[in-house]
Amino acid sequence: MSEDIVLVIGARGQLGSVLIKELQKIYGITNVIASDIYLDHNFEGVFELLDATDITSIRTIIKKYSVTQIYHLAAILSAKGEQHPLKTWELNIKMMLNVFEVSINSTVNKVFFPSSIAVYGTKAPLQNSPQSAFLNPATVYGISKAAGENWAQYYFNKYDLDIRSIRYPGVIGYQSMPGGGTTDYAVDIYHSAVKRENYKCFLKADTKLPMVFMEDAIRATIELMQTPKENIKTRTSYNLGSMSLNPSEIYEAIKKQYPSFEIEYQPDFRQVIADNWPKSIDDKEARNDWGWEPKFNLKSMTIVMLEKLEEKYNKIN
């Protein structure tokens, strides 16, 4: 049986840095190649500096290690993308197409491409948004992900390239920081509470958005990638439902444990982005096709978040 060699592109990002550790447990430390545009001097394992806009560099790494799976996680997210629309489009699309293109006729037999709830816009039902709703994304990030979903399906149909994808909600985790997203507040708020700082929220108190705890997000990603090929019926991207939360609900959950924690709401341009996104999503396809089921809710997630961040900042053991 041939061994899997896994390449993660964007390994220093919010999701990548956590996913790498899980993949190392499954495939072995030498069989997981972490890559990023920024070096990580403290990385434990195999690390390659990689600019994914350069197709030759990706091809060189695939050949060097005989890579069989790629997780392509590098992208500019929703909020940052609005500050540099054309650059975001160019980067997100170029990196993705490079990954798809180098994977055909190579040792690669499976690719993971993350999409996002950002693919939705005002034409989809905001509550329980269905998998196949009409997509009219309002951000360049959302447009690049919606296009990416169609490209993924195209490469599957035309080249039988086994690309799998999840539309991530906001991911909340203690291990890493998000950067440049509209859902970032949901991580930042926990850090502020544990650092005994008050929090200034850039979304309104009642702005509901779909969210998922990091543990569930990582497990979903690996479960999808381990599902037999014939079970994967959605070749664009799977909706992944878990929690539907607003800033006020997260604040109240934290306040139960940190009674002096205060929040102030100062919505900025990210409010408009959030208002275009679903409040909750229908993930029955993921549940039916590969058995997706979230394990964490606001209460259980908050317990873990606060405990782990206390260990990080205040060294309570």
Helical ranges in 160-297 per DSSP H: 185-194, 214-226, 247-257, 270-276, 284-290
Q: How far is the CB of 182 from ligand AKB (least distance, A)?
A: 4
Please identify which residue in 10, 13, 121, 181 interacts with ligand AKB, judged by CB under 6 A.
Answer: 181
Please identify which residue in 24, 182, 192, 244 interacts with ligand AKB, judged by CB under 6 A.
Answer: 182
- The number of CA neighbours under 13 Å toward the Cβ of 194 is 21
Q: Does 185 bind ligand AKB (CB under 6 A)?
A: no
CB nearer ligand AKB, residue 35 or residue 237: 237
Q: How far is the CB of 82 from ligand AKB (least distance, A)?
A: 10
Give the span between the Cα atoms of 94 and 268, in whole angstroms.
30
Helical ranges in the chain per DSSP H: 16-27, 55-65, 78-83, 85-103, 140-159, 185-194, 214-226, 247-257, 270-276, 284-290, 298-314
Please identify which residue in 9, 32, 67, 77 interacts with ligand AKB, judged by CB under 6 A.
Answer: 77
Q: Does 168 bind ligand AKB (CB under 6 A)?
A: yes
Please identify which residue in 20, 32, 52, 118 interacts with ligand AKB, judged by CB under 6 A.
Answer: 118
Q: Is 141 assigned a catalytic role?
A: yes
Q: How far is the CB of 64 from ligand AKB (least distance, A)?
A: 31
- Tokens at residue 230, please? 């014939």
C-alpha separations of 27 from 10, 13, 22, 216, 239 in Å: 18, 20, 9, 19, 27
CB nearer ligand AKB, residue 148 or residue 170: 170
Cα dihedral 294, 298, 299, 301, rounded to 10, equals: 70
Q: Does 225 bind ligand AKB (CB under 6 A)?
A: no
Q: Does 236 bind ligand AKB (CB under 6 A)?
A: no
Catalytic residues: 141
User: Under the rule (CB under 6 A), what is the footprint of ligand AKB?
Assistant: 77-78, 116-118, 141, 168, 170, 178, 181-183
